[in-house]
Structure formats: structure tokens, C-alpha cells
A and B are shown apart, each in its own frame.
Chain A
Amino acid sequence: MPPTPIPSHTQAEADHAIPQTVLVVDDEPVVRLSLSARLKRLGYHVIEASDGRVGLDLLRRERPDLTILDWMMPGMDGPTFCEQVRQDPELQSSQIILMTGHDQPDQIAEGLARGADDFLSKSASKQEITARVQAGMRTAKLLRTLEQARDEIQRKQEALERELQSAAEYVESLLPLQGHVLPGVRVVHAYRPSLALGGDLFNVVPWGDRLMGLYLLDASGHGVSPALRSASLSTFLRGDSLLHQVGSNDPGVILTEANKRFPLTEDGNYFTIIFARLDLDSHRLSYATAGHGGAFIHRQSGTITRLTQPGLPLGFDITNIYSAAETIIEPGDRLFFLSDGLYEAPSPTGERWGQDRLEEAVHRLGQAPLEDVIPAVIAEAIRWQEQDLFPDDVAVMGLEVDV
């Protein structure tokens, strides 16, 4: 069979306007010069090193496309050179052909195992050398393309993360300030989104000095879409918006209107929410819920009253009418609104922390300052799940009435 024709000497130049570079590392000047001359005739740019250490320096500085390396050299031998390259994150994708005067199978295996990509006998024919160099160059080119694509993805990922961080800061800017929101009413909260952006939001809606609304909403799903939908619902729930678009501060009426405006999405995403109105003159708390279970009052007496009403989440049935229930808030009572991400925290065996354990934790903390209670409860959930990161968004808003 006739030998396969070898491409002309100008192949490398044809592939690239700038010639590809080969680093030749060999302590024998005659071998080095001979190989270099052959490679130059093939159109490659050649740089030379007379030992492994100089070779490594050149590899770092010049980043050649291919390195042809002698096995036996004083100081650092070829396999050791390969090992150092593979351990260096900057160099590890370098293409290396290891060259030796002996081509014993064991030696070839050792060379490959220690980091060489290919093997070349010093007695190889001109055609074989050319073919192996070209094969190495093809691989080097492919790797460079992959590295460029990886770097591009990394750049885009970093840009996306910066955008997400910026969006997360915006979402957090929608949360209420902590402290007194009205004379005699103090709010403390915690917000721990499971990703950069969370789908939980809560806020207070002041209607004068003696009347306020407050809510906590939980968007199903995670990430950008629920966060945007939550921000949209939160905008709807602003005091001025409610005045113009609902014309009532009745929690049932507000949720009935929100239900029409925020239908179940095509992906099955929706909100659960609790909306309450607190009248400081009558101490009446009027509240309506849409499929939301995380709300209770911790009375100063120590008893805990859940504010749970079965109800369709928002958007499940746009004809649904939500109605409000009522209870009394006495001075010293504390109101807790939270998302299910806290009490549904799973233990390593999959058991959920549960509302009972959550309420026991709050009960145990008694009348400790609200600023201590909320972090302590979250810490207890973290101990339960044995990891810091919650799998779902966690939002807790505590409100204490002093008057």
C-alpha cells in the first residue's frame, strides 16, 4: 500500500496566519537542532530549551501549541516535566509528545501515565514525526477552542451573577425597615433566599398612625421568575395602589382582587399569601389567607394561636372570594408571619421540622427580645437540617405590639 501523502510544509501556515509554535526540549544539541530544522521546514515557529527547567519556564512564558520533550535529560527528566505540567492549572492542558530512543511498551505506558499525550521514537520516520506533530496540533487547537469557550461562559456567568446580585439587592430593598413601623409596633425580620433571588416577600402597609396592613407572600418556584412575580405582587400591595385599585383595606377584598390579577402560570407557579390589617385602637387583627400556613400569634400569656384558614392559593380559581377572619392582639402579643421554607426544612433523613417544632421553639424562647427569637428559631431549623443553606426560601417577619 502506498504511504498516505503528507500535507505540504505550508500546512501550518495555511491553518493559521500566525505559525503555530512548537517547544523542543532536549539536552542533546544535535537532536534538538535537527528536529527544530524539520519543524521549521513544516512551517512551525520553534523555540528550544536545553533542559526541563528552562523548558518549563518557556512553556509558562510562551504557551506553545505543542511541546516535544526528550525522556532522558539531566536534572528534570521528561516524565517529571509532564507531571509538573499536569499539576499546574495554568499549563495542564498543554499538549506534550514524549520522545525517547527506546520505544518499549512499558516505557510508553509509564510516559503516558505520567502525563504525556503521545509518544515518539527518536528513530521515527519523517512521515511519522510529521503526522504525530499534526495530530498534536489538532488536539491543541481543539483544546484552545474549548478553553476559549469555557472562559467566555465563565465571563457570561460572572456577568449574570452580578446582575442577579443587583436584582437581589433590589428585592431586599422592598422589605420593610426593622424597628418601629408605627408608634408602639415593632417589626423584626429575617430573609434567607435559597438562591441569589428569592420568591418570598413581606412588608407593612401603613394607613395612618393607628391602622396598618401587613403581609407575607410566598411565590412557588425559585429564581428570577418568582422573584419578579413577587415584586409585581408586592407593588400591587402598596398602600397607594390598594387605595386606587381595590378601594378597601379589608384583607378578604384585597386577596379577592389579587387573585384575579395573578392567575396560575402556565408552568403551575402561583402565590400563597397572608394579608392582615391591624387596628391599634380596637386591637383587632383582621386577616385573610390564600393557601398560606405560616402565621401565628405568640400571646404574652405563652399560648400560641395559629392564623390558619384553608383557602385556595392565589390564581387557582379566579372566581374565588376570600373572606377575612378576626382575632384580638393584646399589648405584648407577638405576631409571626413566615414562609414554609422554615418549617419544611428537612432533616438528613428527610423528616420535616414541622410547625409543631417551630412553635415549641418560639414557646421555649418565651419573652426573649424579638431580635433574639427570630435568629434563634432559624438556628434551630439549621440544627435540624444539619446544614446552613435552606433548600427553599426562608422569610420570617415578627411584629410586636407594645400599646
Chain B
Amino acid sequence: MQMTQRTFREAVVLEIADEFTYGGRKDFKAAMEKVQQAGCRHLILNFKHVTFVDSAAIGLLALAAHQFKAGNRTLSLVSPQGTVKQILELANIHKMIPVFPSEDAAAGAKAA
């Protein structure tokens, strides 16, 4: 798993690439902790280049959704593709984290 962080408008974007699995849990947790400590109010997880998510990744997403909700902050998920999209849909992740087709749409929804 690879992660890059940048800002887009008022949001922090965490772009994840390759397989997001149990092996990447420490990196993901550390990145989430870092953005929350930095006072991020809106985090966009860009999944455009994620090729696979396993059950551990789903659990981390749910945990992140709980944390952001508890902190009254916004978490968005952008552009899951193919199998990843199917797995996220099976787990109804959109009920916990709103899913958008683009960063633009995610940032716009927050602004609105």
C-alpha cells in the first residue's frame, strides 16, 4: 500500500494506491492519527488507485468513520473502482462514509 497526502481546497486528501490490506493497517492508523492531530476538519480518502481491500481495511474504514463522527468532522471516500467498489458496496460502507465520484464533488458536498 502506498499513501500520499496533500490538500485540496479546505480538505486534506489521503490518496491510497495498490492493495489496502491488513499489512497496511499501521501506516493507515498512523496517517489517520496525524491528520486528526493536525486539526483536519474534512478528510478525503481517494481510492481511485486502490486495487483490493480486505476485511481488515473495511474495519479500519469503519473505525475512522466512528472517530470522525465523534469529533464532528467529515470523512469522504472518493472513486472506488471495480472489485474494491463491489466489496465496499457489499459492506454498505456508503452508509458510514459518503462516497463521491471525484474530489471536487466531495469538497463541494462539504462546502454545501
Contact = CB atoms under 8 A, between A and B. Distances in A.
Given A220-B58, A264-B62, A270-B62, A291 B92 contact: yes
| Chain A interface SS verdict (over half) | loop
A322 to B, nearest CB: 11
Interface in B44-102: 51-52, 54-56, 58-60, 62-63, 66, 83, 87, 89-92, 95-96
A311 B62 contact: no
A3 interface: no
Contacts of B83: 352, 354
Contact of A268 (B52, B60, B87, B90): B60
Contacts of A317: 95-96
A310 B90 contact: yes
Interface in A288-318: 291, 293, 308, 310-313, 316-317
Contacts of B15: none
B66 A293 contact: no
Q: What class of interface size applies to chain A in its complex with B?
A: 20 to 34
Contacts of A316: 62, 91-92, 96
A340 B54 CA distance: 9
Interface in A260-279: 264, 266-270, 272
B91 A313 contact: yes
A269 B87 CA distance: 17
A354 B87 CA distance: 12
B89 A310 contact: yes
A221 B91 contact: no
Interface string B10-39: 000000000100100100000000000000
A331 B66 CA distance: 45
Contacts of B52: 350, 352
Interface residues of B, number: 22
Contacts of A266: 63
A227 B52 CA distance: 25
B64 to A, nearest CB: 8
**Highest count of chain B CB atoms <10 Å: which of A218, A220, A264, A340:** A220
A48 interface: no
B90 A293 contact: yes
B59 A220 contact: yes
A392 B25 CA distance: 16
A268 B95 contact: no
A267 B66 CA distance: 12
Contacts of B63: 264, 266-268
Interface in A170-198: none
Contacts of B95: 312, 317
A312 B90 contact: no
A359 interface: no
Contacts of B62: 264, 268, 270, 313, 316
Contact of A220 (B51, B56, B90): B56
A293 B51 CA distance: 18
B59 A291 contact: no
B55 A311 contact: no
A249 B96 CA distance: 28
Given A312-B95, A313-B62, A352-B83, A291 B90 contact: yes
Given A270-B58, A312-B91, 9 more contacts: A220-B56, A264-B62, A266-B63, A268-B59, A272-B55, A316-B92, A316-B96, A340-B54, A354-B83
Interface of B: 19, 22, 25, 51-52, 54-56, 58-60, 62-63, 66, 83, 87, 89-92, 95-96
25 contacts: A221-B56, A221-B59, A264-B59, A268-B59, A268-B62, A270-B58, A270-B62, A293-B87, A293-B90, A308-B90, A310-B89, A310-B90, A310-B91, A312-B95, A312-B96, A313-B59, A316-B62, A316-B96, A317-B95, A317-B96, A340-B54, A350-B51, A350-B52, A352-B52, A392-B54
Q: When A and B form their complex, which 5 residue pairs have the shortest distance between CB atoms, in order from nearest?
A: A268-B59, A268-B63, A220-B55, A291-B91, A312-B92
Interface of A: 218, 220-222, 264, 266-270, 272, 291, 293, 308, 310-313, 316-317, 340, 344, 350, 352, 354, 392
